[in-house]
Amino acid sequence: METLRSISELSKLRGPIFLAIGVFDGVHRGHQAVISTSAEHAQSANGTPVVVTFDPHPMKVLRPREAPHLLTATQHKIRLIRDLGVQHLLVIKFDKSFAATAPENFVQQLVTNSKPLREICVGHEWSFGKDRRGNLALLRKLGAQFDFHVVGIPAVTLANGEPVSSTAIRRAVEAGDLAKAAEMLGHQYTILGTVVHGERLGKKIGFPTANLSAHSEQFPPNGVYFAQATLSGATYPGVVNLGYRPTVSSDKSERVLEIHLLDFDHEIYGKDVEVRFVRYLRPEQKFENLDGLARQIESDVEQARQLCAT
């Protein structure tokens, strides 16, 4: 997948250009509908489909105190979009200067740099431009002016009629309802993190762990999970501890995400690991000493091995 970082780079792509535009946090089923529809229309017209998104999430710039916990930071979002088979992705830097751009000017830039722009596909509630003045109605007006089609994708709903949304997925993950989150996402909820140096306490008690600096911000409830970790294209089973590690730390200012990979003995500092929470095993708890913690982890690992065999 080719990742573009400026609107001007659209000019090097073969036209006609079909744009699927959105924040796409989580890359859920609604987002996938926007992206796949645009790709299908481009294919039928022998055009070039391009997915357009923003970094960081606009709310992080416009109203940082109200910004939601991200399901997927940009690095993770790019991975998920690539996995959809997307060939071209434009990531626009979202800062205060860009936020001040009038919606008409934003569209004008897209038109000027596409050779030509044939279609823009968005979610039906998408808003854009200064003061979020741009909407589907304005986009259609501009489409008539600049001779491109506009497609607004209606909300995707579950079987019970509930609309799929990033907000609903965040609530499901926070509540530990990972099955509902997966139903809305169209894929399992995962957290992408980079392995960082820890205190090596796990190794001292016989269960080395990889400490992850998570790029995602929305965590499921604290506790111990049977999980699967994808690393350099391979997937490994493991046991995750998510929480404050009360047995060894009194600091409750930051949650720690660490995973013990079964039968794994490789140096992975600095590598990215994608963690899928398969089964909740137990709540996080405080033990009297490290021996008690080690015995419980041994039990957790045995339970994980049994789940691997099923």
Q: Per-residue pLDDT for the chain (310 aa), expressed as one digit of tens each?
A: 999 999 999 999 999 999 999 999 999 999 999 999 999 999 999 999 999 999 999 999 999 988 889 999 999 999 999 999 999 999 999 999 999 999 999 999 999 999 999 999 999 999 999 999 999 999 999 999 999 999 999 999 999 999 999 999 999 999 999 999 999 999 999 999 999 987 666 565 568 889 999 988 899 999 999 999 999 889 999 999 999 865 666 555 678 899 999 988 888 999 999 999 999 999 988 776 778 788 888 999 999 999 988 7
Q: At 295, list the tokens.
A: 């015995």
- Pairwise CA distance, residues 68 & 138, whole Å: 27
DSSP for the chain, written as a single string:
-EEE-SGGGGGGSPSSEEEEE---TT--HHHHHHHHHHHHHHHHTT-EEEEEEEES-HHHHH-GGGPPPPSS-HHHHHHHHHHTT-SEEEEEE--HHHHTS-HHHHHHHHHHHSTTEEEEEEETT--BSGGG-B-HHHHHHHHHHHT-EEEEEPPPB-TTSPBP-HHHHHHHHHTT-HHHHHHHHTS--EEEEEEE----HHHHTT---EEEEES------SEEEEEEEEETTEEEEEEEEEE--TTT----SS-EEEEEETT-----TT-EEEEEEEEEEE-----SSHHHHHHHHHHHHHHHHHHHH-
Say how many C-beta atoms besides its own lie within 10 A of residue 258's C-beta: 22
Catalogue all structural domains in the chain, each as residue range(s) with its CATH number: 2-153 (3.40.50.620), 190-309 (2.40.30.30)
pLDDT at position 249, please?
64
Question: Residue 35: which of 46, 24, 25 has the closest Cα?
Answer: 24
pLDDT of residue 201: 61
Neighbour tally for 117: CB within 10 Å: 24
Which is nearest to 62 in space by CA: 93, 22, 94?
94
Q: Which pLDDT does position 247 carry in this prediction?
A: 60
Q: Residue 32 and residue 186: Cα distance in Å, rounded? A: 9
Q: What residue type is 141 in one-letter code?
A: K
Whole-angstrom distance, CA of residue 25 vs CA of residue 179 = 18
Q: Report the pLDDT value the prediction gives residue 200, as an integer from 0 to 100.
A: 62
For residue 153, what are the β-bridge partners? 123
- pLDDT value at position 246? 55
Tally Cβ neighbours within 10 Å of residue 47. 22
Please, what sign has the CA dihedral across residues 156, 72, 120, 187? Answer: negative
